[in-house]
């Protein structure tokens, strides 16, 4: 049994806590809202973000950063990408050099264009940092539906230790040392899922979605390799696996958001309706900026950024993508 703390009480952090608790670990969840923490304790479930999934009373729900990470051997960072630096800095005084931070958020930091593992390492250099990613909807992990994911760390022994502690009959982890590749696959697939949802919202078919997913994976791979990632990583669980599940499932808030935008809703109307963080929206501008900085061609990403933030019409964007210069497949 290990003492594991989860920073963040959203659907994904809660699902991981429930799963790890079921298989014998000592879990604490940190919420930044006392009222939310109280409701979870009283209800025995997170009715807002993970309804129907029981949360045992043995899982501690706390609001104190110090109490949350005290004596924890592994700390799971499960806050939205745009709040990673803010929250890790809040917890920084309470971390020690023996603790391992496992980031499960997916995105890039605005402004710095850094991956989230880079942000965490910058804030708490005394800690080992690993990244967990893959096709893993919180709704399914919380219910114990068999899931496979990847745990990445530059220190292979750390990855193997987490693999050993987290793996069980319903959650299988593979190790990887390509942290950059795993993070870029995780961040970028959300943008392609927005595109896939927009295609659905426009009433397009399977051909269109397959084209978006395939050419989207080409973009993800180009960017990831330009940043030092390995090609094979993008055809694994954190790349192709996560892309498939996020582009095709109604559990995916990015796909759902894309559908609404494709149907004609504004970005704000869409975000209000989804009522959860849509990481593809948070990541799109940073990804476009990073692509330009590295001189990487990412037409789908640029198109989605134009729709979200520059008032471009979705149908016009599709036309422009279809009528780009004719090139070879690469």
Sequential DSSP letters for 267-312? HHHHHHHH-S--HHHHHHHHHHHHHHHHT---HHHHHHHHHHHS--
Rounded distance between C-alpha atoms, residue 40 and residue 216, angstroms: 38
Tell me if residue 189 is catalytic: yes
Alpha-helix residue ranges (DSSP H) falling in 144-298: 156-166, 179-201, 206-226, 242-248, 253-262, 267-274, 279-294
Cα angle for residues 18, 36, 29 (degrees, 5° grid) = 35
Residues 6+ apart with CB under 8 A from 321: 299, 300, 303
Single out the catalytic residue among 90, 189, 209, 326.
Answer: 189
Please count the helices (runs of H) and the strands (runs of E) in the chain. Answer: 15, 10
**Cα gap 47→330, rounded to integer Å:** 46
Over the Cα atoms of the chain, what is R_g? 19
User: Is the separation of the CB atoms in 24 and 1 below 8 Å?
Assistant: yes
Residue 23's Cβ-count burial label (10 Å; 0-12, 13-18, 19+) is middle
Q: Which residues are annotated as catalytic? A: 189
């Amino acid at each position: 049994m290990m003492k594991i703390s989860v920073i963040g009480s959203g659907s994904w952090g809660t699902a991981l806590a429930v799963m790890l608790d079921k298989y014998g670990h000592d879990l604490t969840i940190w919420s930044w809202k006392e009222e939310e923490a109280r409701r979870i304790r009283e209800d025995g479930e997170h009715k807002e973000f993970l309804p129907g999934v029981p949360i045992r009373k043995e899982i501690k729900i706390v609001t104190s950063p110090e109490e949350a990470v005290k004596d924890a051997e592994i700390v799971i960072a499960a806050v939205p990408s745009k709040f990673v630096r803010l929250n890790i800095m809040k917890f920084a005084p309470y971390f020690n050099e023996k603790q391992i931070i496992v980031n499960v958020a997916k995105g890039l930091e605005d402004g710095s264009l850094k991956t989230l593992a880079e942000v965490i390492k910058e804030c708490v250099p005394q800690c080992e940092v690993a990244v967990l990613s893959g096709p893993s909807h919180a709704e399914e992990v919380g219910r114990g539906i068999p899931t496979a994911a990847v745990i990445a760390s530059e220190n292979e022994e750390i990855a193997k230790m987490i693999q050993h502690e987290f793996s069980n009959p319903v959650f299988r982890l593979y190790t990887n040392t390509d942290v950059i590749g795993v993070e870029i696959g995780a961040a970028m697939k959300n943008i392609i899922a927005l595109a896939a949802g927009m295609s659905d919202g426009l009433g397009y078919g399977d051909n269109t979605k397959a084209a978006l997913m395939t050419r989207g994976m080409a973009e993800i791979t180009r960017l990831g390799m330009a940043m030092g990632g390995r090609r094979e990583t993008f055809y694994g669980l954190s790349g192709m696996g996560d892309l498939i599940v996020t582009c095709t499932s109604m559990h995916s808030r990015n796909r759902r958001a894309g559908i609404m935008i494709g149907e004609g809703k504004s970005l704000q109307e869409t975000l209000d309706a989804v009522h959860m963080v849509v990481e593809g929206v948070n990541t799109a501008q940073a990804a476009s900026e990073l692509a330009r900085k590295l001189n990487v061609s990412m037409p789908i990403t640029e198109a989605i950024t134009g729709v979200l933030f520059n008032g471009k019409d979705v149908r016009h964007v599709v036309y422009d993508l279809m009528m780009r210069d004719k090139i070879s497949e690469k």
